[in-house]
Structure 1
Amino acid sequence: MQLIDWIILIGTLLFIVLYGVWKTKGSKNVQDYIRGGNEAKWWTIGLSVMATQASAITFLSTPGQAFHSGMGFVQFYFGLPIAMIIICMVFIPLYHRLKVYTAYEYLESRFDLKTRTITAIFFLIQRGLGAGITIFAPAIILSAVLGWDLTTLNIIIGILVIVYTVSGGTKAVSVTQKQQMAIIFTGMFIAFFLIISYLPDDVTFTKALDIAGASGKMEVLDFSFDLSNRYTVWTGILGGTFLMLSYFGTDQSQVQRYLSGKSVKESQLGLLFNGLLKIPMQFFILLVGIMVFVFYQFNQSPLNFNQNSVDKLLSSEYSNDYKEIEQKNDVLFSRKKEISEKLAITGNPELKTELANLDSIERSYRLNTQFFIKRVVDTAYASKYDKLEAEIASYEDKSSVNKEYKTKKDELLTLYNESAKDKETNDKDYVFIYFILNNLPKGLIGLLLAVILSAAMSSTASELNALASTTVIDLYKRNIGEEKSEKHYVTASKFFTLVWGILAILVACFANLFDNLIQLVNIIGSIFYGNVLGIFLLAFFFKFVKSNAVFIAALITQAVIIFVWWQDWLPFLWLNALGCGIVMFLAILLQGFIPTSNNKKIEIQ
C-alpha cells in the first residue's frame, strides 16, 4: 500500500467514527438512545437494514464464494422478498402498536417473563458470536496488508466501532450507515469496471460470461431436490424464507433498525426497499467474483490465495511436493489461457468442453495444495495420515483382492478428501483481498479496503447496539426490583454496549476460518433462528398455546437442532424450517398435557 491508500483508508474510517459521535451527541433518554427518537425515514431504514446484513463478510467472502463455486449462492436470498412482505403485514404493525423497544417484549405480553427471557438469551448467544465474526473478517484483511497479528487488529477494529456506538446508540448506527453504504457501492462499482478493463481487448463482458460459463460458474438456478446441496432454488425459497423471517422479524439487530422509523409506513417502505434491492446487490457482488475468476484465466493465480499458509508450506518438508504441483499448474495455465483466448474469438463449443476439463484439473491441484497445507498446520492429522501410510506400506499383498489393504486405502482417501476441504486450509475469504492488493492502482486499494472495513463497522455497530438494548430492556430492566431514571438506563445501555464490544473482540480473537466466513455467520444464525421464529409464530397465530408449553418446547427444540447440526444431517438452511416446525409441533402437543399457566398477563408499558 502507498501513502495515498493509507490517507484514503484512515481518513474514511475516522470520518465515520467522528461523524457518528458528532451527529448523535446528547442522547439523554432511552427513546433517543435505543429507538433513535423514531425519526428515521424509509430510505434511512432501508439502507440501515441492508448495511446491518451486508457486513465485511459479504464483501470479503462472497466474491471468493463465486470464484470457487459460481453464482449458485444467490439462491440463498430467494426467500427474502417473501419474508419482507410477511414482516410488513404482520410484525411491523404489531411492534409499532405495542411501542416496544425490543422484539422480545411482546413475548412477555403474550406468554410470560421466562419465555421472553429464554428467547432473548437465544438471540444474545447467536448474535454475540456473530458480532465476533464480523470483527474477525476485516482483521484478516489488515493482517494481509500490514502483516500484524490478528489479535491486535481485532482489538483495534473493535475499539473503533465501540467508540461511536457507545456515544450515540441507535441513531449513531443509522446516520453512519448511509455514508458507509455510499462508500461501499462506489468502491464495488469501481472494482467491477476495473476488472473488466483488465481483460484482454477482444474479451468483452459477454465473452467473459461465456468463459465463466464454460467452467460451470454461471449456473445460477438449481432445481434439484438433493438435500446434500446447500444452495438450490428450494433451499433458498423455503429454508431462506424461514431464515429471513427469523432474522428480519425477530433478530433485534434488524428489528431495532425499523423500530426507529417515523411511522409504520416508513418502516414498511424501508423493508420493501431492502427486499427489492438485496438480491440484485448480492448478484452483483457474486458477479464481481466471477469477473475475478475470468481475470485469472488470463493472469496467473496462486494455487492458494492465503499467502501465510503458502509461506508455511514452502518452509516445510512438503515444499518440493508443492513446487511440483506449481510446475504442473504453470503448464496448465498456459493451456487454459490459450483456450480462453481462442474461445473469446471463436465461441467454439468444443473449446468450452476442453476449458471445463482443464478447470477440473486445476481444482484438483488446489485441493492437493490444501492437503499439504493441512498437513503442515495440523500435526494431529499428519500423524493419522502417516500411521495409515505405514500400515498400507506394510502389506505384502497390495493387490485389489486384498480386502484389508483396500479398506486402508479407502480410509486414506477419505482422510485426504476431508482434509482438503478443512476450514484451516480454505482460501475463499482471501481471493478478493489478494486481487485488490496485487492488481488495483494506488488510491483504489485504500478505497476498497475502506469499503470492506466500513461494512464491518456498520454491521458490528448494529449488533452491539442490539445486544446492549436486549440486555438492558429484556434482562436488566425487567429483572431489577425498582424503576430507575431514564439517565440510568441510558448509562446502562452504554455500559452493556462496551461489555458486548469487549466480548465480541474476545470471540474474534478465538475465531477460526470455517468453510468460509459468510457461511459460518449464517450457520450460527440458523442454529437458533428457526426456534425463535416458531415461538413468535405461536404467539401470533396460536392463541390457545400458553407459556409453559412454549418454554419447554423451545428448550427441547434447541437441543434437537444443535444435535442435528452436529451430526450434519441437513444443510444449514433447512435447520431454520426444521427448528420452526419442531417448536410449534411440540408446543401444540404439550399444551394438551400441561395445565394452563395462571401467570398474570403483563402489559407492555
Structure 2
Amino acid sequence: MKGLPIFDLVIIVIYLIGMILVGIYFSRNNKNSDQFTKASGLIPGWAIGLSIYATFLSSNTFLGVPGKAFGSNWNAFVFSLSMPLAAWVASKYFVPFYRSTGEISAYTHLEHRFGAWARTYAVVCFLLTQLARMGSIFFGIALSLQALTGYSMQMIMVVMGVCIIIYTVLGGIEAVIWTEVVQAVVKTFGALLILYLIITNMPGGVSKVIEIGKSADKFSLGSFSPDFISSSFWVVLLYGFFINLNNFGMDQNYVQRYHTASSSKAASRSIWLCVWLYVPASLMFFVIGSALYAYYEVNPDLIASIKHQVAVERLPLNASVTEITDLEKTLQPADYGDKIMPHFMVTKIPAGLVGLIVSAILSAAMSTISSGMNSSATVFTVDIYKRYFKPDITEKQNLSLLHIATVGFGLLGMGAGIAMIGVKSILDVWWELSGIFAAGMLGLFLLGIASRQTKNHEAFIATMIGIVVIIWMTFSAHLPAQYEFLRNPLHKNMIIVIGTLSIFLVGVLLTKLKNRNLKSADGNMPV
C-alpha cells in the first residue's frame, strides 16, 4: 500500500479541517432560508466570479482534461472556446431576467409559462445532471487519491463526502462561495506547480514537449471539415455552446449565484470574470496532458506499471498472468489517460509538495460538489416539497428541510461516484450524461423565453417529441444489427444540440401552425 509522508498528510488534514471551520464560521449567519440560499444578496461580484470559475474548474478538469489530452489531442479545448458567446447571451438576457423575477429557483417561471409539468420536468433534468456531475467528481478524486494512498475508492469518497456535507450544511451558499474563492486560488497554484514539475523532470524541457507533441499531432483541435459523426471541431464547439448556455442560463448552480450579487451588473461581471479565468486555465491543463505524454514517451518503461494496473482492474480476479499480459499489449493511451496524472504525482512529486497538490485536487472536487449539493437542496425544497407537499411550510421547517436535503444529495452524489468506478474516461462520461439530461430543459427554457406566443399545449407536445429524439439518440446504438439503419448516425455530443433544437423548433412550428389556423378560422367567420 502506498502511504503518504506524515507532512503531506498533515497538510491535507489541515486543509479539510479548514474547510469545515469555514462552514462553522458562516453558520452564525444562517438563521433563515434566504441567507442559506442567497446570502442576502451581499456577495461581491468578483467573489461570485471566482466561485463560478472554481465550479467549472472541477476535478473533471483537473484529472479528466490532462487524461484526455494525453490519450488524444486538444479537441476538447474547443469546449472552452465556446464559452465567450454563451457568456454574452447569458449576461445580456438571462441575468437581467432572473434578477427581475426575484425567484431563487431557475425553474419557477416555467410553471408560469407552461404549467406545473414544465417546472417539474426541468427540475428532474437538473437533479439528474447534478447527480451525474457530483458522481463523476467523486470518482475522479477517488481515482487520484487511491493511487497516492492505497485506500479504497469507496472509503475516500465517504471521508471526503462527509467533510463537504458538514461545511455545506453549516455555512450555506455563503460558505460555498467563500470556500470556492480560496479553492480557486489553491487549484490554480496546484496546476502551475504540476506543470513546473513535469517540465523540470523532462529531458529537453519545453522544446522537447513541443517536438514530441507535434510529431504525435497532440495539439490538434480536431477536424475542421463539416463532420458531425466524429468529434470534430464543430461538434465540440456546438456541444460547448449549448452546454455553457445551459450552465450560465439555467443551471441552478449559477442562477443561484446571480441572486447573491448586489446588482445585475455585478452578476453579469461575475460571468465574464469566470470566462477570462477559465479559458487560459483549461488551456494549461491541456498543456499538462501533452507534457505528460512527452514525458512518458521519453520514459516508456514507466508506462508498464500503469498498463498492468488497468489490465488487472478490467479482468476478473481469477485472470491468469497470460491474460493480463495480453491485455496490456492492446491498451492504448486513451485507455489509461486518467491514471497518468496520479501516477506522476506518486512517482515524481517530492514529499512535502504532494500534500499541496492533493489539496488542490480536493479543492477542485469539493467546490463543485458543495455547490451541487446546495443548489440541488434549494431546487428540491422550492420546486418539489413546497410546490407539491407543503406550500405553507414555516421558515424554521424550510431551513431544516434545506439542511436535510443537502445531506441527502451529498449521499446520493457519493453513491453515483461509487457506481462509476471502472469507467474509461471521466470527461467522456460527464460530457455524455450532461448532454442527455440538459438537452430537454434547455430546449424548453429557450422556447419559453424566445417564443412568447407558445402556450402549454404546444410546449408539451414539443417536449414529448424532444424526449423521444433524446432517447433515440442515446440508446439506438444498442439496437440489433438488423436494425442498424435506425441507429443514430451523429456523434453522442450532438445529443444536446439536436435534443434542444428539436424541442425549440417543434414548439415554434406548432405555434405558427396554431396561429395560422386561428387566423384562417377568423377570416371565414361571418361578419
1:437 to 315, 324, 346: 346
Q: Does 1:533 align with 2:442?
A: yes
1:506 to 397, 401, 415: 415
Can you give the 5+ residue segments of structure 1 that lack an aligned partner in the other structure?
326-364, 371-419, 597-605
Given residue 380 of structure 2, which amino acid in structure 1 is its aligned partner? T
CA distance in 1, matches of 2:124, 2:317: 46
- When residues 167 and 567 of structure 1 are mapped into structure 2, their CA distance, relative to the original with a 3 A threshold, is same
Q: 1:400-479, aligned counterparts within 5 Å?
A: 426-479=335-388
CA distance in 2, matches of 1:30, 1:555: 35
CA deviation map 1:492-536 (0-9, x unaligned): 111111111121122222223434111211211101222211111
Aligned to 1:46: 49
CA distance in 1, matches of 2:279, 2:422: 25
Alpha-carbon distance, 1:254 to partner: 2.0
TM-score when scaled to structure 2? 0.89
CA distance in 2, matches of 1:114, 1:321: 53
1:124 to 121, 124, 127: 127
Alpha-carbon distance, 1:482 to partner: 4.2
Aligned to 2:330: 368
Aligned to 1:283: 283
Aligned to 1:272: 272
- When residues 481 and 70 of structure 1 are mapped into structure 2, their CA distance, relative to the original with a 3 A threshold, is closer
1:84 to 81, 84, 87: 87
CA distance in 2, matches of 1:132, 1:488: 29
- When residues 307 and 257 of structure 1 are mapped into structure 2, their CA distance, relative to the original with a 3 A threshold, is farther
Matched residue count: 500
Q: Which of the pair has more CA radius of gyration?
A: 1
Aligned to 1:376: none
CA deviation map 1:144-165 (0-9, x unaligned): 2232222222222211111111
Contact map agreement 1:248 1:254 (CA 8 A) in 2: yes
CA deviation map 1:374-408 (0-9, x unaligned): xxxxxxxxxxxxxxxxxxxxxxxxxxxxxxxxxxx
CA distance in 2, matches of 1:320, 1:307: 12
Q: Does 1:566 align with 2:486?
A: no
Q: Does 1:305 align with 2:306?
A: yes
Contact map agreement 1:183 1:451 (CA 8 A) in 2: yes
Alpha-carbon distance, 1:434 to partner: 0.6
CA distance in 2, matches of 1:28, 1:306: 53
Given residue 492 of structure 2, which amino acid in structure 1 is its aligned partner? F
Contact map agreement 1:18 1:164 (CA 8 A) in 2: yes
CA deviation map 1:27-59 (0-9, x unaligned): 112221111211122221111111112211211
Given residue 581 of structure 1, which amino acid in structure 2 is its aligned partner? L
- When residues 229 and 515 of structure 1 are mapped into structure 2, their CA distance, relative to the original with a 3 A threshold, is farther
- When residues 137 and 574 of structure 1 are mapped into structure 2, their CA distance, relative to the original with a 3 A threshold, is same
CA distance in 1, matches of 2:50, 2:329: 39
Aligned to 1:227: 228
Q: Which moved more, 1:148-157 or 1:60-69?
A: 148-157
Aligned to 1:159: 162
Q: 1:346-365, aligned counterparts within 5 Å?
A: none
Contact map agreement 1:134 1:460 (CA 8 A) in 2: yes
Given residue 347 of structure 2, which amino acid in structure 1 is its aligned partner? N
Say what the alpha-carbon RMSD is for the aligned residues: 2.4
Contact map agreement 2:307 2:331 (CA 8 A) in 1: no
Aligned to 1:240: 240
Q: Does 1:176 align with 2:179?
A: yes
Aligned to 2:321: 319
- When residues 71 and 585 of structure 1 are mapped into structure 2, their CA distance, relative to the original with a 3 A threshold, is closer
CA distance in 2, matches of 1:133, 1:21: 27
Aligned to 2:251: 251
CA deviation map 1:231-255 (0-9, x unaligned): 41x1233232111101221111222
Alpha-carbon distance, 1:553 to partner: 2.2
- Give the secondary-structure state (helix, strand or coil) at the position aligned to 1:487: helix
- Give the secondary-structure state (helix, strand or coil) at the position aligned to 1:28: coil
Percent sequence identity is 27
Q: 1:30-45, aligned counterparts within 5 Å?
A: 30-45=33-48
Alpha-carbon distance, 1:68 to partner: 1.3
1:143 to 146, 149, 152: 146
- When residues 227 and 367 of structure 1 are mapped into structure 2, their CA distance, relative to the original with a 3 A threshold, is farther
CA distance in 1, matches of 2:128, 2:225: 34
CA distance in 1, matches of 2:329, 2:22: 46
- When residues 171 and 321 of structure 1 are mapped into structure 2, their CA distance, relative to the original with a 3 A threshold, is same
1:586 to 500, 506, 513: 506
Contact map agreement 1:304 1:427 (CA 8 A) in 2: no
Alpha-carbon distance, 1:321 to partner: 6.6
Aligned to 1:552: 461
Q: Which moved more, 1:295-304 or 1:178-187?
A: 295-304
- When residues 106 and 304 of structure 1 are mapped into structure 2, their CA distance, relative to the original with a 3 A threshold, is farther
- Give the secondary-structure state (helix, strand or coil) at the position aligned to 2:217: coil
TM-score when scaled to structure 1? 0.78
Contact map agreement 1:314 1:322 (CA 8 A) in 2: no
- Give the secondary-structure state (helix, strand or coil) at the position aligned to 2:303: coil
Aligned to 1:17: 20
Aligned to 1:93: 96
- Give the secondary-structure state (helix, strand or coil) at the position aligned to 2:302: coil
CA deviation map 1:458-514 (0-9, x unaligned): 110011111100001111112235422222211111111111112112222222343
- Give the secondary-structure state (helix, strand or coil) at the position aligned to 1:427: helix
